[in-house]
């Protein structure tokens, strides 16, 4: 691929609900651009974007794919993102380097949860956007209904640029609302300009009014003229639209049919015409030598800098770091400095990446997206710059994973292989986290959803040839006591020669400090237990609180007072007093009304108003205490509740079902509370069965 200057580049993220047609839209574009000789389909599993075996099997996108397309002497970097919330991190990475977005909407399914999620992502970054409505060749598709839905949600900013022409249930052409002309496809695949048919005049009037109202909103002068009934010229409309699209006050709506490759020429023309090139976008970092703002602004004349927005760690094609050049011009063998890692990286060759294929390029100009091979220490969201001008850019805000499972190797001896493979997967996917839960002797894997974790499990088996077992995680219960007990234990053992003797009398009672496992005091008088054995007694307590007598969970909030005992001048030892203490602790703990404590989370659920009642009902069934309901974005409510951790298991699946994919949740640890008797007994019985 040839080198493109900044003004000839467009970086566009394709967003939208899963199944809306993003990948098939890319197929149509690359076919018309001459990159492929035939169009692939998701059903056939031969698309350019979805090349992973798991993507082909599931018929959905799991990763963001970069597809650079040469069109009319411009380079359009298309970032095809997954549409389902399970892979939100991939979309967030793409949006962090996009300068504009196309939100794809299925003409049959209409506005869905993923559509609104895509809009919200664009709003957070103030990203210029347009809608592209697919499936216009299907008679069940309704462009009119979708425009109405979008206007109801997003108001006067929605500006239809085209609408479909249908005759005899066939998609035969479209009407250009700006030009007020109809265009029909002919046998050559080109269009013939004609007058707008009579049956489309009503729709033209409707969409023209919506378009002009959006144009009027771009300036006070246009607003006055609009209300005075003035006509805008085509040049005035296009000029206003360029400004309006760039500042997000105008959102065009286009349409087409992916499988017929119709509507893509106008879409690509409008991308070049209305979406900003990087040199018209702002980009700033911090110069770490003086903490001053570095205005990169995709200026090729400024010191070199780049942001790593994604990592590919594939066992077949190797490791590549996907970058966006924020300033300067990168060339092969440049040496750049990573401030985050305090290390220099020699770039070697420069590449552009198209799906799973790489192509070498001579240089990458500011604003372009490319790839670097085998960087030694740099990771996703790191910044590369010159050592003389060390810069760091704001890291992308990637969603935090809240769904977790216990995992283990199916086959003994595969633990290291799984660990290494998961490290590579986590480097690619920042929403995968591995946590070692030492208190409960388990290793946990966190992801966005249960399906997300199942996909990781399948990738391990398919790509890395190791099998991982996912299980319900052990909840971090704790044990404590409600009463006071006085107990003793004498450890006496004789087996020839020196024996073992240790005798302790202790009081075990609640300490009142639930943050601390134990408090140890001694009030021994008269040397009943010599001072040199006090550390051994405390060691016995330390061992005892790691695994409580009730259900083998850690103990907290206990005070142990050593007040008496006895020793033998020959047979006593540290080991004997440690063992005696452990046995005394077990007996005394069980005599002090032991209880099981369960962890409580503070849960926040963001849900559309229409589903609030169903969500509340489900939370009540999960023993949650609803603390409040706060108005959120338009049409949304945030439900705040305290809920036991054990009740969060599979909550993601239930919430998805209740809200049709629109609900999202987050939580954080709040405190420990005494578990209800039936919950505690069930847990105690389970531990007894296991042991």
In this prediction, residue 215 has a pLDDT band, given cuts at 50, 70 and 90, of confident
Cα–Cα distance between 645 and 638 in angstroms, integer? 19
Residue 377, pLDDT > 90, answer yes
Place of tokens 């425009």: 147
What string of H, E and C letters represents the secondary structure of 141-197?
CCHHHHHHHHHHHHHHHEEECEEEEEECCEEEEEEECCCCEEEEECCCCCEEEECCC
User: What residues contact 167, with CB distance under 8 A and at least 6 apart?
Assistant: none
Higher pLDDT, 169 or 317: 169
Per the structure block, which two tokens stand in for 158?
């929605």
Confidence at residue 498, expressed as pLDDT on a 0 to 100 scale: 74
22-36, 208-222, 386-400, 668-682: least confidently modelled range: 208-222
Confidence at residue 681, expressed as pLDDT on a 0 to 100 scale: 92
Confidence at residue 496, expressed as pLDDT on a 0 to 100 scale: 63
Do the bridges between strand 329-330 and strand 129-134 make them parallel or antiparallel, or are there none, so unpaired?
unpaired
What string of H, E and C letters represents the secondary structure of 441-501?
CEEEEEECCHHHHHHHHHHHHHHCCCCEEEECCCCCCEEEECCCEEEEEEEEECCCCCCEE
DSSP 572: B
Cα–Cα distance between 469 and 461 in angstroms, integer? 11
List beta partners, residue 287. Answer: 292, 391
Confidence at residue 93, expressed as pLDDT on a 0 to 100 scale: 97
Residue 316, pLDDT > 70, answer no
Q: What's the Rg (C-alpha) of the chain?
A: 32
Confidence at residue 218, expressed as pLDDT on a 0 to 100 scale: 81
Confidence at residue 649, expressed as pLDDT on a 0 to 100 scale: 94
Confidence at residue 634, expressed as pLDDT on a 0 to 100 scale: 77
In this prediction, residue 221 has a pLDDT band, given cuts at 50, 70 and 90, of confident
105-119, 138-152, 183-197, 331-345: least confidently modelled range: 183-197
Place of tokens 């240790």: 502
Confidence at residue 497, expressed as pLDDT on a 0 to 100 scale: 65
Q: Mean pLDDT throughout 673-679?
A: 93
Distances, alpha carbon 536 to alpha carbons 253, 573, 576, in Å: 76, 9, 8
Q: Tens digits of per-residue pLDDT, 386-434?
A: 999 999 999 999 999 999 999 999 999 899 999 999 999 999 999 999 9
331-345, 383-397, 675-689: least confidently modelled range: 675-689
Cα–Cα distance between 15 and 136 in angstroms, integer? 19
CB 418 within 8 A of CB 409: yes
Distance of CA 295 to the CA centre of its chain: 28
Higher pLDDT, 49 or 244: 244
In whole numbers, what is the pLDDT of the chain averaged over residues?
92
Q: How many alpha carbons lie under 13 Å from residue 668 in its C-beta half-sphere?
A: 1
Cα–Cα distance between 454 and 147 in angstroms, integer? 37
Residue 495, pLDDT > 80, answer no
Confidence at residue 102, expressed as pLDDT on a 0 to 100 scale: 98
Q: Mean pLDDT throughout 4-25?
A: 95
Confidence at residue 531, expressed as pLDDT on a 0 to 100 scale: 92
Q: What is the DSSP string of 598-634?
A: EEEEEEEEEEEGGGHHHHHHHHHHTT-EEEEEEE-ST
Distances, alpha carbon 300 to alpha carbons 6, 7, 279, 689, in Å: 8, 11, 9, 68
Distance of CA 346 to the CA centre of its chain: 30
Cα–Cα distance between 607 and 632 in angstroms, integer? 9
Enter the pTM of the model.
0.90
Query: Which phi and psi (to 5°) does residue 682 adopt?
Result: -60, -40
492-506, 525-539, 574-588: least confidently modelled range: 492-506
Distances, alpha carbon 548 to alpha carbons 475, 478, 679, in Å: 15, 8, 17
Quick one: how many helices (H) and strands (E) in the chain?
A: 16, 37
Higher pLDDT, 223 or 392: 392
């Amino acid at each position: 691929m040839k080198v493109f200057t900044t003004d000839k580049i467009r970086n566009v993220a394709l967003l939208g609900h899963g199944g809306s047609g993003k990948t098939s839209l890319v197929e149509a574009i690359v076919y018309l651009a001459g990159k492929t000789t035939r169009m692939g389909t998701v059903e056939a599993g031969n698309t350019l974007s979805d090349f992973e075996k798991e993507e082909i099997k599931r018929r959905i996108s799991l990763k963001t794919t970069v597809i650079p397309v040469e069109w009319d002497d411009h380079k359009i970097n298309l970032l095809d993102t997954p549409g389902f919330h399970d892979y939100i991190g991939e979309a967030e990475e793409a949006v962090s380097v996009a300068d504009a977005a196309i939100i794809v909407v299925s003409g049959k399914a209409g506005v869905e949860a993923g559509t609104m999620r895509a809009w919200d992502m664009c709003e957070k970054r103030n990203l210029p956007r347009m809608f592209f409505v697919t499936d216009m060749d299907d008679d069940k598709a309704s462009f009119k209904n979708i425009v109405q839905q979008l206007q109801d949600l997003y108001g006067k900013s929605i500006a239809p640029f085209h609408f479909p022409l249908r005759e005899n249930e066939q998609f035969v052409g479209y009407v250009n609302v700006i030009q007020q002309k109809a265009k029909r496809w002919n046998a050559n695949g080109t269009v013939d300009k004609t007058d707008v048919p009579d049956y489309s005049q009503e729709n033209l009037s409707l969409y023209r009014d919506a378009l002009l109202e959006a144009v009027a909103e771009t300036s006070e002068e246009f607003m006055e003229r609009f209300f005075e009934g003035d006509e805008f010229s085509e040049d005035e409309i296009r000029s206003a639209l360029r400004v309006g699209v760039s500042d997000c006050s105008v959102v065009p709506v286009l349409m087409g049919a992916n499988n017929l490759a119709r509507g893509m020429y106008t879409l690509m023309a409008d991308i070049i015409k209305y979406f900003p090139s990087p040199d018209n976008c702002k980009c700033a970092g911090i110069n770490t030598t003086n903490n001053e703002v570095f205005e990169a602004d995709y200026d090729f004349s400024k010191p070199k800098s780049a942001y790593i927005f994604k990592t590919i760690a594939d066992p077949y094609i190797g490791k590549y770091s996907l970058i966006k050049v924020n300033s300067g011009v990168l060339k092969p063998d440049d040496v750049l400095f990573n401030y985050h890692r305090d290390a220099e990286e020699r770039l070697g060759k420069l590449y552009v990446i198209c799906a799973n294929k790489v192509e070498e390029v001579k240089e990458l100009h500011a604003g372009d997206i490319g790839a670097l091979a085998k960087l030694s220490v740099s990771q996703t969201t790191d910044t590369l710059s010159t050592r003389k001008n060390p810069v760091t850019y704001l890291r992308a805000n990637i969603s935090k994973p809240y769904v977790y499972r216990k995992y283990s190797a199916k086959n003994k001896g595969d633990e290291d292989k799984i660990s290494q493979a998961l490290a590579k997967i986590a480097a690619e996917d920042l929403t995968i986290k591995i946590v070692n839960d030492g208190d409960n002797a388990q290793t946990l894997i966190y992801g966005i959803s249960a399906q997300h974790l199942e996909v990781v499990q399948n990738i391990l088996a398919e790509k890395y040839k190791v099998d991982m077992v996912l299980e319900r995680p052990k909840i971090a219960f704790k044990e404590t006591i409600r009463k006071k007990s006085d107990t003793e234990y004498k450890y006496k053992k004789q087996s020839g020669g020196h024996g073992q003797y240790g005798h302790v009398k202790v009081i075990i009672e609640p300490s009142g400090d639930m943050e601390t496992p134990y408090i140890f005091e001694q009030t021994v008088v008269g040397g009943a237990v010599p001072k040199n054995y006090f550390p051994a007694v405390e060691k016995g307590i330390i061992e005892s609180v790691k695994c409580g007598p009730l259900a083998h969970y850690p103990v907290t909030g206990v005070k142990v007072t050593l007040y008496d005992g006895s020793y033998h001048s020959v047979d006593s030892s540290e080991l004997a007093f440690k063992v005696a203490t452990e046995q005394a602790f077990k007996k005394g703990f069980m005599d002090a009304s032991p209880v099981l404590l369960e962890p409580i989370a503070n849960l926040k659920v963001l849900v559309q108003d229409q589903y609030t009642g169903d969500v509340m009902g489900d939370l009540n069934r999960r023993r949650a205490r609803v603390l409040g309901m706060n108005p959120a974005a338009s049409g949304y409510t945030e439900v705040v509740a305290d809920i036991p951790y054990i009740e969060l298991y599979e909550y993601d699946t239930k919430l998805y079902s209740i809200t049709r994919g629109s609900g999202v949740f987050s939580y954080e640890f709040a405190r420990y509370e005494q578990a209800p008797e039936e919950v505690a007994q069930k847990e105690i019985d389970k531990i007894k069965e296991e042991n």
